[in-house]
Amino acid sequence: MKICDVLAINSILPDLKARNKKGILEELVVPVAEIAGVSQKDLAKVLMERERLGSTGIGGGIGIPHGKMKNLDSLVLGFGLSRKGVDFESLDGQPTHIFFLLVTPENSTGLHLKLLARISRILKNDPLKSRLLEAADSDEILGIIKEEDEEF
């Protein structure tokens, strides 16, 4: 499965405004909850519960908040950029700028792990991260991800 198979243009937020982890998650869930047909509050709660187990800020300016939800029909992916960076309790202690939010049905562990691995793999590419941070809008972000997604 490619990232662009599940990343909808309307779930890309090119300029997150929040300055803390809770605020970033609350912003990221807005389009994703709408696409998934779930409550923003419920989705934010699932993500915050997952964060309590350990931060999904993996370092290198990247956060991949994720969780599983009951009553979800299929996997949903969102993307956000924090231009200024935010303290996401990252493993390296550095500000986080690039976020992929992944929510999957409760019983889809394999799919969940495959997509997490794919996202992690493409984000190891530093020039890609720079291009994403310089992207002007959702269309440009999707184009950059699509280009990289084709190579893997």
Question: What's this model's pTM, rounded to 2 decimal places?
Answer: 0.95
Average pLDDT over residues 132-137: 96
Active-site residue, from 21, 66, 97, 112: 66
Quote the pLDDT of residue 93: 96
Q: Which amino acid is at 93?
A: G
Helix (H), strand (E), coil (C) string for 56-94 = CEEECCEECCEEEECCCCCCEEEEEEEEEEEECCCCCCC
Of the candidates 8, 9, 14, the one whose C-alpha atom is nearest the C-alpha of residue 137 is: 14
Q: Tens digit of pLDDT for each residue in 82-111? A: 999 999 999 999 999 999 999 999 888 788
**Cα dist from 73 to 70, 100, 116, 119, 152, whole Å:** 9, 19, 18, 21, 27
**Cα dist from 57 to 37, 63, 129, 130, whole Å:** 26, 4, 15, 18
Instruction: Verify whether residue 66 is a known catalytic residue.
Output: yes
Containing 12, the helix (H) or strand (E) segment is: strand 7-13
In the chain, what are the domains? 3-151 (3.40.930.10)
Contacts of 117 (CB under 8 A, 6+ apart): none
CB contact at 8 A, 90 and 106: no
Q: Tens digit of pLDDT for each residue in 48-88? A: 999 999 999 999 999 999 999 988 989 999 999 999 999 99
Query: What confidence tier does 142 reach under pLDDT thresholds 50, 70, 90?
Result: very high
6 token code pair: 């599940």
Tell me: pLDDT of 151 over 80. no
Quote the pLDDT of residue 150: 83
57 token code pair: 């800020």
